[in-house]
Amino acid sequence: MAIGQSLDHALNSGDGILHMFPCWVPRAFAVPGRRLRLAEDDLYALGTERGGLDERWLSSTTNPANGPDMPPDEGLSYVIAPDGKRFTLRDAVDEKPGVIIGSQMYERYKRWPTLGKMFDNQGALPFHLHPDAEHAALVGEVHKPEAYYFPPQYNPRLNDFPFTFFGLEPGTTKEDIRRCLERWNKGDNGILDYSKAYVFPIGTGWFTPPGILHAPGSLVTYEIQWGTDTFAMFQSIVAGKVVPYDLLVKDVPQDKKHDLDYVMELIDWDANVNPNLRSTHFLPGKEDVNAEHYRDRWIIYGKSRGEDVFSAKELTLEPGAAVTIKDPGACGVIAVQGRGKLGNHPVETPTYMRFGQETLDEFFITYEKATAGYTVTNDGVEPLVLLRHFGPDCQPA
């Protein structure tokens, strides 16, 4: 698809900021929590056989692992050009990589490697992990570190299980977990007996490197992750719903799918039995700027196994205020409260959306614009709150 003229038009008229179309992703293994502001009638807009729309992907150049019925552009974010045309962010990055994400990032990763999302479930997800780089490479994939932030604006209620299982209790043995896997087809395999559920206050977050078992609860979550959809589900039944064995070995080489010794190798054992899990991975947030009329703070930060893989900030701007921001790199943006302007784009946080409807709450700030500076204005009567996520190597030293 030739997008050069439309992309140039979008960049010029938007002064380096791209307007994004909402990207909804279904999940067959989850029940929508009904807090992403999507119309009730549209929660199963793609059909019940595909699953409910419990995830909104942000500035995505990544496809989900949603099986053979998935259309080829599922999970890909589209840019809304001023001439009415739409094209994927993936194509925009390939067309003008230096402008959109920066030449250095493109030369290293050949894509925008970061994925943002908002996910919303009625209950907890299965206890699972994401393979590290070594194991993911065996199935042609990459590692998947991820981190979470629980935005107050999207959590007016907590739903069924607002707690997060994370890691394994110290003293748990590898034999304990292997026996759980051996019991997969006998009902609940009991793996949560060896974990602990944590309470994370709204407005805080959590960092999850590859290889750590975890089960996100029912809080609406702003998740930043590496751009892949690899996972291994280690829990056989969740809230009475059977988890197929296939989801345990989805990203395992074909000749290892019934090799439980290999499956056990996916677990980063020392990281899981760390007695200081909370202090190691908890993200209470930290201020970057706290000025009279605005606050800008890091909400996702830190490193995965020593690597700066992604980060995110929360900008809160008081009514009537304006501020010029310079960022270290390109970023995806979603407004979670208020109205105003981002550069010359109008911003308005929706309270009700229909599937397939254009909104004014999601944008992508290109590398050239982010590093040169852009202005955010609040012309509403309540604080304007923007969440923005960055790719690798954008955190201060």
pLDDT band for position 104 (cuts 50, 70, 90) = very high
C-alpha pair distances (Å), 27 with each of 50, 130, 143, 342 = 7, 17, 21, 32
Position 359 scores a pLDDT of 98
- pLDDT confidence tier of residue 2, bands split at 50, 70 and 90: confident
pLDDT of residue 36: 98
Predicted pLDDT of residue 377: 98
Nearest Cα to 383, choosing from 346, 344, 349, 332? 349
Q: Across the chain, what does the average pLDDT equal?
A: 97
- How far, in Å, CA of 23 to CA of 332, rounded? 13
Task: Kindly list the structural domains of the chain, giving each domain's residue range(s) and its CATH number in brackets, ordered by start.
Answer: 4-390 (2.60.120.10)
The model's confidence at residue 84, banded by pLDDT at 50, 70 and 90, is confident
**pLDDT > 90? residue 177:** yes
Q: What is the mean pLDDT of residues 84-99?
A: 97
Q: Tell me what pLDDT residue 29 has.
A: 86
Confidence check: pLDDT of 182 > 70? yes
Dihedral angle, C-alpha 339, 76, 51, 228, nearest 10 °: -110
pLDDT in tens, 326-351: 999 999 999 999 999 999 999 999 99
Mean pLDDT for 180-200 is 97
Average pLDDT of span 66-76: 95
SS3 assignment for 20-85: EECEEEEECCCCECCCCCECHHHCCCCCCCCCEEEEEEECCECCCCCCCCCCCCCCECEEECCCCC
Q: What would the pLDDT profile of 137-154 be if each residue is shown by its tens digit?
A: 999 999 999 999 999 999
pLDDT digits 0-9 by tens, 119-132: 999 999 999 999 99
94/89 Cα distance (integer angstroms): 9
Band the pLDDT of 83: cuts 50, 70, 90.
confident
Q: How confident is the model at residue 53 (pLDDT cuts 50, 70, 90)?
A: very high
Q: Render 314-379 in DSSP notation, one character per residue.
A: EEEE-TT-EEEE--SS-EEEEEEE-EEEETTEEEE--S-B-TT---BSEEEE-HHHHHH-EEEE--
- Band (1; pLDDT cuts 50, 70, 90): low
What average pLDDT score do residues 93-121 get? 98
| Nearest of 345, 334, 352 to residue 379 by alpha carbon | 345
Entry pTM: 0.97
Q: Could you read off the pLDDT of 270-313 as tens digits, one per residue?
A: 999 999 999 999 999 999 999 999 999 999 999 999 999 999 99
Q: Does position 185 have pLDDT exceeding 70, yes or no?
A: yes
Per-residue pLDDT reduced to its tens digit, 234-264: 999 999 999 999 999 999 999 999 999 999 9
Containing 291, the helix (H) or strand (E) segment is none
